[in-house]
Structure 1
Amino acid sequence: MDLGIDRQALVPVVQQIVSAVTQWIRKNEVSPGTRLPSVRRLALDNLLSQSSVIEALERMVAQGLLAHRHGAGFMVAEPPVAHECQWYEGAERDWGDFADSPLGELKLGCGWLPEAWHESDDISYAIREVSRTDTAGLFNYSTPLGLPVLREQLLKRLTHLHIDTRLDCILTTGGASHAVDLLIRVLLRAGDCVVVETPGYGNLYRQLAFHGVHLLEVPRTPSGPDIPALEALLQRHRPKCLFTHSLYHNPTGSSLCRVVAERLLELARRDDFLIIEEDVYGDLQHATCTRLAALPHEGRVIYVASFSKTLSSALRVGYLSAEASLIARLATLKTSTGFGTSRFAEAVVSTLLANGTYRKWVQRLRKRLSTEMAATLQVLEDEEWEVFTVPAGGMFLWARPGANAFSRVQAFARRLGVLLSPGSLFNPTGEYSEWLRINVAYASDQRALALMRAVGPARSTSTILKTTGV
């Protein structure tokens, strides 16, 4: 079995082995119970160490893709009887369609990185280091504002981004969604109006609706919120807040331009509302960018960020920066509703920031995403898809197939076992839309390529399946 290992690639060898064996099982429709070549044979044929092969195959056993019997080696596992679904936007609507897939469906529109992209060794090292040097983190609560050493690292990061803040103006949270939930509870009451972008983040809509907040929709443009539409809303309503993404907006991948940013701040001062700026994808930036929190804003901007998208969603570490008086109120609520955040998780993230591991990881991630972004854009252009904007970075594209092709894409995705994130998931009312969010980190998969090519001119389904090997 030729695993096609690329020793110059950024992906660790063990992860390449996992991906290659998984693809071999899927492409050849290998039956459960089929034995794999021996560890020794796989290692010899691919010039690998046996320890690397064993580690990769044992990972696949843990994932339920392979089984291992003493004396019989590794074999393809039986499909699970029950399948516990990993969460994603819209899971409550669409997940069950592919629950029977033994090898897992392709989440082409999800909001996180593929598991195979993560480099677990660095996190494992940080966990061991924290366990050895900070035993209190294993047993004790964190402080109300968050672990001091982490907040000091965050202050350095924000200063580097030209965001003027202080240590007492930073609060750690259990991810960005937790930060937003705290802000909604402290700042808003049922019946209040807020402005949200359309398309935008579906979970934000649900959080606001849960608290009885009225949503005012402003269209998202490639340069940020539609300013004329926002001004029209402000003439009729008095919103308390505006929620926006400045960089690599979810789901469109667009980023805020300086002119729009300055006008937003002018309107916030004139009409007396706050701006909640989410920046969960900001670490993926390549070039000069505009953040509202980095501009003079007189306390009008609340900055929210997280390490869930770039580092690990399992650690659940986020933070926000705001006026000290608001931070104090948020900290009181945070402590009374959950006794604070995880001291241990915050210590792990602090270690990764302090030793430079996170910075180096993000640099590698930017490069890899940039390559995938360019390749995906080329395929979509070749197949005549419409793209909302060409992002300067990040992981999302907002695109739709050619005329009268959306139903064909939906049907083909179901056949391939590809989970889509359609435009209706990113609209407060669930309005039908032919736009799709595409995560470029998944787009080089043969099933994704087959799907994007399904709408190309004069191509039959059978031809696409044959040429892509799906």
Structure 2
Amino acid sequence: MDLGIDRQALVPVVQQIVTAVAQWIRNNQVSPGTRLPSVRQLALDNLLSQSNVIEAFERMVAQGVLAHRQGAGFVVAQPPVTTECQWYEGAELTWGAFADNPLGELKLGCGWLPDAWHESDDISYAIREVTRTDTAGLFNYSTPLGLPALREQLLRRLTRIHIATRVDCILTTAGASHAQDLLIRVLLKAGDSVVVETPGYGNLYRQLAFHGVQLLEVPRTPGGPDIAALEALLQHHRPKCLFVHSLYHNPTGSSLCRAVAERLLELARRENFLIIEEDVFGDLQHPSCTRLAALPHEGRVIYVASFSKTLSSALRVGYLCASATLVTQLASLKTLTGLGTSRFAEAVVGTLLANGTYRKWVQRLRKRLSMEMAATLQVLEDEEWEVFAVPAGGMFLWARPGAADHSRLQACARRLGVLLSPGALFNPTGEYSEWLRINVAYAADQRALALLRAMGPARSTSTVLKTTGL
């Protein structure tokens, strides 16, 4: 078994062994109980130390991929009996998105950056700095509105992007989903109606449905919500809120244009509803982007953002900006339901903002994503995929193959070990769709490229797989 170990790679050798063996099991559809080559032989064939191979195998035993049998060495384990979703989706549908991935499938449609893209040294430095200078952050609750030092930094950030506010109008949360949940609980009750975009963020749909809120769907266009459809809907309904994703919309990657933004604000004033603007990808902004909260809105826009997508989802730091009165209500609920947010996590993010590390990181990230976006768009064009919009930035593309059928796409993805996020997961009713969300940060992987090319016109899947060596 040739593991293809690259000793110049940043990935540790043990992890390379785990990934290579898992891929061999998957690609060859190896049956449970099959015996692997001996540790000694595998080490000899790949010029590895036996201790590295043993550590990798033991790690795979802990993950449930391998089992150790006395006298027989390591064998492929019997998979546990579980009910498994055929399709993968990021935060929108299943807990499985957050589980370990022992077979190393490529999460082409997930909603976050690859682990290898993150720069842990900067976060490690910030953690050391916080533990050295702010011991209270290790032991105490945060304040109801959030750590004052972080909120001061957030005020500076909002000022730079032309959002006029005050520090007492900023509330920290455990990510954007937490902010949305607080807003739903305070602003809405069962039977109320709200406007949501479709396709859109599936977790929001489920949060609203959990509280008995009626969803009024408006199609997303490349420039934002379909204004004609919204105006028609407003003739028969009186929604309390409109939820909109202005920049690098999830899942389409499109951004709000100025004309649509201004019309949305006009309608909000005329029909007396609030707009909840999510901006979790806003730090990847392009100069031409438009935010509703940066326009005159007479207090009708509530701004929600987060550091989970750009910095670290493990820190769980987000925030919202609203009127001081509403922020006070939300802070009371935040304290009641969770005794506040993590002072330590907020101190780490505040340190990264204050020393300029986060700004520099985002600049590098924006440049890298831009390169991956251009490369992925070129592949999709070459293979005649249909693309919903050409994003100005961000990490998502919304696309569908021009010729391939649904079953062929599923079969090819399964064979390659690629996990997809299909269009049905971004619809409130789960209606079937040929569209897929593609995260360009994963699209340069050979398995992703093989899938995109295999779905091109008059392509033979087996030919593409042979050509790419998969």
Instruction: Decide: shared fold, TM above 0.5.
Output: yes
1:442 alignment partner, SS class: coil
2:329 maps to which residue? 329
TM-superposed CA distance for 1:287, in Å, is 2.8
1:217 alignment partner, SS class: strand
State the Cα deviation string for residues 358-383 of structure 1 (Å, max 9, x = none).
Answer: 11111111111111111111111111
State the Cα deviation string for residues 212-242 of structure 1 (Å, max 9, x = none).
Answer: 0000000000000000000011111110000
AA at the equivalent of 2:466: K
**Aligned partners of 1:140 and 1:408: how far apart in 2?**
54
TM-superposed CA distance for 1:33, in Å, is 5.4
CA contact (8 A) 1:105 1:418 kept: yes
1:48 maps to which residue? none
TM-superposed CA distance for 1:198, in Å, is 0.3
2:291 maps to which residue? 291
2:160 maps to which residue? 160
1:218 maps to which residue? 218
Cα 1:93–1:115 change in 2 (3 A) is closer
2:462 maps to which residue? 462
2:263 maps to which residue? 263
**Aligned partners of 1:294 and 1:121: how far apart in 2?**
34
TM-superposed CA distance for 1:288, in Å, is 2.3
**Aligned partners of 1:321 and 1:220: how far apart in 2?**
24
State the Cα deviation string for residues 12-53 of structure 1 (Å, max 9, x = none).
Answer: x62487886666556666957556769x9789xxxxxxxxxx
Cα 1:33–1:223 change in 2 (3 A) is farther
Which stretches in structure 1 are left out of the alignment for 5+ residues? 6-12, 44-53, 68-74
2:33 maps to which residue? none
TM-superposed CA distance for 1:457, in Å, is 2.6
TM-superposed CA distance for 1:418, in Å, is 1.3
1:195 alignment partner, SS class: strand
CA contact (8 A) 2:64 2:77 kept: no
**Aligned partners of 2:37 and 2:344: how far apart in 1?**
40
1:14 paired with 2:15, answer: no
1:187 paired with 2:187, answer: yes
2:359 maps to which residue? 359
CA contact (8 A) 2:5 2:17 kept: no
Cα 1:105–1:301 change in 2 (3 A) is same
**Aligned partners of 1:112 and 1:83: how far apart in 2?**
28
1:50 maps to which residue? none
TM-superposed CA distance for 1:404, in Å, is 4.8
1:88 maps to which residue? 90
TM-superposed CA distance for 1:131, in Å, is 1.2
CA contact (8 A) 2:403 2:457 kept: no
1:111 maps to which residue? 111
State the Cα deviation string for residues 282-328 of structure 1 (Å, max 9, x = none).
Answer: 11123321000000000000000000001111110000000111001
AA at the equivalent of 1:221: T
**Aligned partners of 1:64 and 1:76: how far apart in 2?**
12
TM-superposed CA distance for 1:76, in Å, is 10
1:133 paired with 2:129, answer: no
1:233 alignment partner, SS class: helix
**Aligned partners of 2:360 and 2:74: how far apart in 1?**
36
**Aligned partners of 2:331 and 2:293: how far apart in 1?**
20
**Aligned partners of 1:222 and 1:92: how far apart in 2?**
28
TM-superposed CA distance for 1:453, in Å, is 1.1
2:276 alignment partner, SS class: strand
1:3 paired with 2:6, answer: yes
1:232 maps to which residue? 232
1:453 paired with 2:453, answer: yes
Cα 1:153–1:90 change in 2 (3 A) is closer
**Aligned partners of 1:286 and 1:164: how far apart in 2?**
20
**Aligned partners of 2:392 and 2:247: how far apart in 1?**
9
Please list, as runs of the form range in 1=range in 2, the aligned pairs for 1:66-81 lying within 5 A after superposition: none
Q: TM-score, normalised by structure 1?
A: 0.86
Aligned length: 442
State the Cα deviation string for residues 240-262 of structure 1 (Å, max 9, x = none).
Answer: 00000100000000000000000
1:165 alignment partner, SS class: coil
Please list, as runs of the form range in 1=range in 2, the aligned pairs for 1:434-449 lying within 5 A after superposition: 434-449=434-449
CA contact (8 A) 1:146 1:171 kept: yes
AA at the equivalent of 1:349: V
CA contact (8 A) 1:66 1:77 kept: no
* RMSD, aligned α-carbons: 3.3
AA at the equivalent of 1:420: L
CA contact (8 A) 1:32 1:77 kept: no
TM-superposed CA distance for 1:87, in Å, is 7.8
Cα 1:76–1:281 change in 2 (3 A) is farther
TM-superposed CA distance for 1:3, in Å, is 2.6
1:169 maps to which residue? 169
Please list, as runs of the form range in 1=range in 2, the aligned pairs for 1:57-68 lying within 5 A after superposition: none
**Aligned partners of 1:63 and 1:179: how far apart in 2?**
39
AA at the equivalent of 1:3: D
**Aligned partners of 1:340 and 1:459: how far apart in 2?**
55
2:68 maps to which residue? none
1:409 paired with 2:409, answer: yes
Q: TM-score, normalised by structure 2?
A: 0.86
**Aligned partners of 1:207 and 1:364: how far apart in 2?**
34
Cα 1:116–1:78 change in 2 (3 A) is farther
CA contact (8 A) 2:193 2:241 kept: yes
**Aligned partners of 1:83 and 1:369: how far apart in 2?**
39
**Aligned partners of 1:207 and 1:91: how far apart in 2?**
11
1:3 alignment partner, SS class: coil
**Aligned partners of 2:15 and 2:22: how far apart in 1?**
11
AA at the equivalent of 1:131: T
CA contact (8 A) 1:33 1:77 kept: no
Cα 1:66–1:369 change in 2 (3 A) is farther
Cα 1:89–1:139 change in 2 (3 A) is closer
CA contact (8 A) 1:89 1:421 kept: no
Cα 1:317–1:80 change in 2 (3 A) is farther
TM-superposed CA distance for 1:65, in Å, is 8.5
State the Cα deviation string for residues 44-68 of structure 1 (Å, max 9, x = none).
Answer: xxxxxxxxxx9xx99x96997899x
2:318 maps to which residue? 318
TM-superposed CA distance for 1:334, in Å, is 0.5
